[in-house]
Amino acid sequence: MKNDKEIVGTLLGFDDFLSMTKVSLFCSEITPEGRRITKLDQILLNGNNITMLIPGGEGPEV
pTM of the model: 0.61
pLDDT of residue 40: 83
Q: Residue 10 contacts by C-beta under 8 Å, 6 or more apart in sequence? A: 22, 23, 24, 25
- In the chain, beta strands by DSSP E: 5-14, 20-31, 34-45
What is the three-class DSSP state of 55? Answer: coil
* pLDDT tens digits along 7-55: 888 888 888 877 877 777 888 888 888 888 888 888 888 887 777 787 8
Residues with Cβ < 8 Å from 32, sequence gap 6 or more?
Answer: none
Q: Which domains does the chain have, with CATH numbers?
A: 5-49 (2.30.30.100)
